[in-house]
């Protein structure tokens, strides 16, 4: 009998696996990365399974593996099962899922880790040796004395800050008194921050009830009960984070780990700070994983988890793949957020993956939001999820008063140009400035102007690579496409009719900042968007300054819309509530309601009451009116009724299939061919739309056409699409993508 491993080859689009033997004396487990011979070259793969076999009767000879990339299995048994589920549900090769689960430095022939040269004393050294150094050797003696007192030291520090010469160290190395070696350097993105341990707060009745529910779920699971996700519907400022912290502490006390997902990088610094403070007693207890870290920092944080040094992981959607071996709790904060859905393969929904991982690894899953997704809310009504509610802000603080401003009337009063600040909002800002209070202004559109146009002939500056307009960025003096990033100089006159009267249309955060600095010339104003926050840690520093009252007015996009806690903010202004409301998307109304409610929740989180001013051109829209009254349940009831009537999620699952190519006719023809095949054997319980151009018909020079399938079962949809696609081939320049449960129809 010999140990035989089945290895999935890296880069194999069809999930190619081969069997290999394991050399004597080498221990291999599933999830490890190995080097293997493949035809006349070497390759890397992931061990899928290990078994003992009698290979003497096989009609072919098995080659041995070439060695291990690392002794550590990078993928835990739980992650292996999760990868298999993601592959089958989202119609993605499992090799692509494995690649997504691993940080980049761990995907190659060897694990790339940062090292530094260090100097240490050898076994040949003893204190008696020091007596033999005199005269010119005094420098060598000082090196030995330092190492004897301080232990191993980096070569760079010895020859730099400490002033020892390289020749002295080389001489000691030649005499076998010192050894120059290497050690792994672990980068900590928060190394410069000192954390003072915070104590748990007293929970109010609603918070205590939610914690009790989480602990009861954990006990039920341990006794063989079912994993039933818990939806925490808690209004903004109700203290959801404190519940998360205390639930995680219980998991840690039980010797288990926890994963906390947050949707935005903007939320990570403040959330990370709260967790680092609460668990400051144990060094490296909390690992941070998000895309704002360098590849090296992210790999080192992931390594802390792999080695079980860190038992709490906080991060964006990919943090759900953290290699924690004994999970005690998964928390998905702001579970409604669209950013949990990945828009490249594998197109997974991190919230749903979290629920599946909780089921596979037998741990409670807590989904929290002030505006739950309609999918999760529907699951509570179907008894798939358990519902817990926190309807009151902590310390009985009042919900902010929301005022709706009809900008149609404001525009009639305006002399010229777009009305950015209504009279009411301007007056409210002045009051806050005089009282020493702070204001947040929200506009989900960056740049200076939405586009430029010619009033004479109607010319609009469009991107040559995408079917969208270009946004003016005044500081760089460029027109920029927010889809593909293409930029160009803005024209001084109309390119079509040569008119000099070309004008800026609409406004973005850059324009708002300029106007505010003119109107409130003594106020300290800062803008937060991806254009302004480019320097590393700039966002963290800006938010810290705002918390320290060094900034009076913070202008921002959705980076500041949710999850942030600033007690001195008493006014929130939403400059244009209609952005994103009138787009061809079934979730447009839901997203607008969620965004308005979340932004409004930044006001009045301290001792002072808050006020929200919402500027809109459609004041009677249900999303805006329900948000005005903080009525999530009312909004959910009417929206779900509409969804049921028209056969939209959550009542039906969708599969969006898109064909794209630089050749418009090939993309269209390929999609129509696929549509015909899908329609031919379409089951009775499925619906198929006609092939149509995508809402964004051209992106990155590629033409896009799409078709949508609907059914009550996502698994049946995936199986049927997989069956049809298996028998089809497309031109090499046509890319066909399949998105199960899409969040964007563009």
pLDDT attached to residue 702? 96
Tell me, yes or no, whether 459 lies in a domain.
Answer: no
The percent of the chain in helix, strand and coil, each rounded to the nearest 5, is: 35, 25, 40
Q: Tens digit of pLDDT for each residue in 616-628?
A: 999 999 999 999 9
Range list of H helices, 601-713: 622-628, 632-646, 664-680
Residue 253 is assigned to a structural domain of this protein: yes
Q: pLDDT at residue 590 above 80?
A: yes
Residues 637 and 694 in one domain: no
Does 16 share its domain with 30? yes
User: What is the per-residue pLDDT for 39?
Assistant: 82
Q: Is 502 contained in some domain?
A: no
Q: In what order do the strands lie in the sheet with 386-390?
A: 286-289, 312-315, 257-261, 327-333, 365-369, 230-234, 386-390
In this prediction the pTM is 0.88
Query: pLDDT tens, 638-665?
Result: 999 999 999 999 999 999 999 999 999 9
Q: Which residues constitute the domain of residue 266?
A: 205-396
Over 90: is that where the pLDDT of 571 sits? Answer: yes
Residue 461 domain-assigned (yes or no): no
Buried-state track 398-437, b at ≥16 Cβ within 10 A, e below 16? ebbebebbebeebeeeeeeebbbbbeebeebbeebbeeeb
Question: Where do we find the tokens 């550590």?
Answer: 72
Task: For residues 249 and 356, state if they share a domain.
Answer: yes
Q: What is the CATH number of the domain that holds 58?
A: 3.40.1440.60
The per-residue pLDDT for range 110-131, each reduced to its tens digit, is 777 777 888 888 888 877 777 7
- The verdict on 586 and 600 lying in the same domain is yes
Q: Does the residue 319 lie in any domain?
A: yes
CATH of the domain at 245: 3.40.50.300
Structural domain count, the chain? 5
Is residue 197 included in any domain, yes or no?
no
* Res 247: pLDDT: 96
Give pLDDT, residue 136: 67
d(CA 514, CA 506): 14
* Same domain, yes or no: 434 and 347: no
Last residue of a domain, one of 374, 396, 418: 396
Do 93 and 6 share a domain, yes or no?
Answer: yes
* Short-list 165, 133, 125, CA closest to 149: 125
Same domain, 636 and 711: no
Look at residue 298 in the predicted model and tell me its pLDDT. Answer: 87
Q: Same structural domain for residues 547 and 632?
A: yes
d(CA 22, CA 172): 43
124 and 86 in a common domain? no
- How many of the other CB atoms lie within 10 Å of CB of 172? 27
Domain contains 648: no
Do 531 and 412 reside in the same domain of the chain?
yes
Per-residue pLDDT band for 333 (boundaries 50, 70, 90) equals very high
pLDDT tens per residue across span 43-72: 999 999 999 888 887 888 899 999 999 889
What is the Cβ-side half-sphere exposure of residue 622, based on CA atoms within 13 angstroms? 14
pLDDT tens digit sequence for 689-714: 999 999 999 999 999 999 999 999 99
DSSP 121-179: E-TT--GGGGGG--GGGHHHHHHHHHHHHH--EEHHHHHTTT---HHHHHHHHHTTSEE
CA distance 113 to 111: 6
Q: Are 246 and 299 found together in one domain? A: yes
Q: What is the mean pLDDT of residues 342-358?
A: 95
If you search the block for the tokens 């929206």, which residue do you land on? 639
- Inform me whether the pLDDT recorded for 250 exceeds 70: yes
Q: Does the structure show a pLDDT above 80 at 291?
A: no
Rounded Cα gap, residues 110 and 398, in angstroms: 56
Name the burial class of residue 220, with classes exposed (0-12), middle (13-18) and buried (19+) by CB atoms within 10 angstroms of its CB. middle
Which segment of 255-269, 384-398, 514-528, 669-683 scores lowest on mean pLDDT? 255-269
Cα torsion 724, 729, 731, 735: sign: positive
């Amino acid at each position: 009998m010999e140990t035989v491993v089945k290895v999935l080859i890296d880069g194999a689009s069809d999930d190619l696996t081969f069997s290999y033997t394991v050399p004597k004396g080498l221990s291999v487990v599933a999830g490890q990365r190995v080097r293997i011979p493949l035809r006349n070259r070497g390759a890397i793969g992931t061990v899928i399974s290990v078994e003992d076999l009698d290979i003497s009767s096989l009609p072919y000879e098995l080659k041995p593996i070439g060695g291990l990339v690392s002794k550590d299995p990078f993928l835990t048994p739980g992650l292996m099962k999760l990868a298999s589920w993601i592959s089958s549900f989202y119609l993605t090769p499992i090799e692509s899922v494995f690649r997504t689960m691993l940080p980049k430095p761990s995907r190659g022939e060897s694990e790339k880790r940062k090292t530094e040269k260090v100097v240490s004393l050898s076994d040949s050294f003893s204190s008696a040796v020091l007596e033999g150094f005199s005269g010119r050797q005094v420098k060598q003696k000082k090196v030995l004395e330092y190492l004897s007192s301080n232990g191993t030291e980096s070569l760079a520090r010895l020859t730099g800050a400490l002033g020892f010469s390289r020749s002295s160290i080389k001489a000691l190395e030649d005499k076998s008194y010192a050894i120059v070696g290497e050690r792994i350097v672990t980068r900590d993105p928060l190394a410069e921050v000192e954390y003072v341990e915070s104590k748990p707060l007293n929970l109010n009745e609603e918070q205590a009830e939610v914690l009790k529910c989480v602990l009861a779920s954990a006990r039920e699971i341990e006794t063989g009960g079912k994993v039933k996700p818990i939806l925490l519907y808690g209004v903004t400022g109700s203290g959801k984070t404190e519940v998360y912290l205390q639930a995680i502490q219980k998991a840690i006390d039980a010797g288990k780990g926890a994963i906390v997902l947050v949707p935005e990088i903007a939320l990570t610094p403040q959330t990370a700070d709260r967790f680092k403070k609460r668990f400051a007693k144990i060094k490296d207890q909390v690992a941070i994983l998000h895309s704002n870290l360098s590849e090296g920092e992210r790999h080192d944080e992931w390594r802390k988890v792999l080695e079980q040094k860190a038992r709490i992981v906080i991060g964006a959607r990919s943090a759900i793949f953290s290699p924690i071996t004994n999970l005690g709790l998964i928390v998905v904060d702001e579970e409604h957020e669209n950013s949990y859905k990945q828009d490249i393969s594998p197109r997974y929904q991190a919230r749903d993956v979290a629920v599946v991982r909780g089921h596979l690894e037998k741990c409670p899953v807590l989904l929290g939001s002030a505006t739950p997704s309609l999918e999760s809310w529907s699951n509570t009504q179907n008894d798939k999820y358990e519902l817990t509610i926190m309807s009151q802000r902590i310390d009985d603080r009042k919900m902010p008063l929301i005022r709706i401003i009809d900008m149609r009337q404001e525009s009639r009063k305006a002399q010229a140009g777009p009305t950015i600040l209504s009279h009411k909002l301007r007056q409210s800002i002045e009051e806050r400035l005089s009282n020493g209070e702070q204001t947040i202004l929200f506009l989900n559109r960056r740049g200076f102007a939405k586009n430029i146009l010619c009033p004479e002939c109607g010319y609009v500056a469009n991107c040559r690579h995408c079917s969208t307009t270009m946004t003016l960025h005044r500081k760089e003096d460029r027109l920029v496409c927010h889809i593909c990033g293409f930029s160009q100089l803005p024209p001084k006159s109309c390119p079509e009719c040569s008119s000099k009267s070309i004008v800026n249309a609409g406004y973005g955060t850059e324009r708002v900042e300029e106007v505010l600095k003119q109107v409130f010339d003594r106020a300290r104003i800062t803008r937060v968007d991806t254009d302004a926050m480019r320097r590393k840690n700039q966002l963290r520093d800006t938010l810290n300054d705002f918390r320290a009252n060094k900034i009076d007015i913070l202008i921002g996009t959705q980076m500041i819309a949710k999850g942030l806690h600033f007690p001195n903010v008493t006014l929130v202004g939403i400059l244009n509530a209609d952005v994103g409301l009138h787009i061809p998307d079934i979730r447009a109304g839901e997203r607008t309601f969620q965004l308005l409610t979340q932004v409004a929740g930044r006001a009045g989180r301290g001792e002072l009451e808050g006020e929200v001013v919402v500027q809109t051109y459609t004041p009677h829209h249900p999303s805006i009116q329900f948000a005005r009254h903080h009525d999530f349940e009312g909004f959910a009831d009417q929206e779900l009724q509409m969804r049921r009537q028209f056969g939209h999620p959550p009542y039906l699952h969708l599969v969006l299939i898109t064909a794209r190519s630089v050749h418009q006719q090939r993309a269209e023809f390929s999609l129509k061919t696929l549509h015909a095949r899908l329609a031919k054997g379409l089951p009775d319980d499925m619906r198929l739309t006609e092939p149509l151009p995508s809402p964004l018909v051209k992106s990155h020079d590629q033409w896009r056409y799409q078709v949508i399938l609907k059914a009550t079962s996502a698994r049946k949809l995936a199986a049927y699409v997989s069956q049809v696609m298996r028998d089809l081939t497309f031109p090499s320049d046509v890319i066909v993508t399949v998105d199960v449960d899409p969040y964007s129809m563009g």
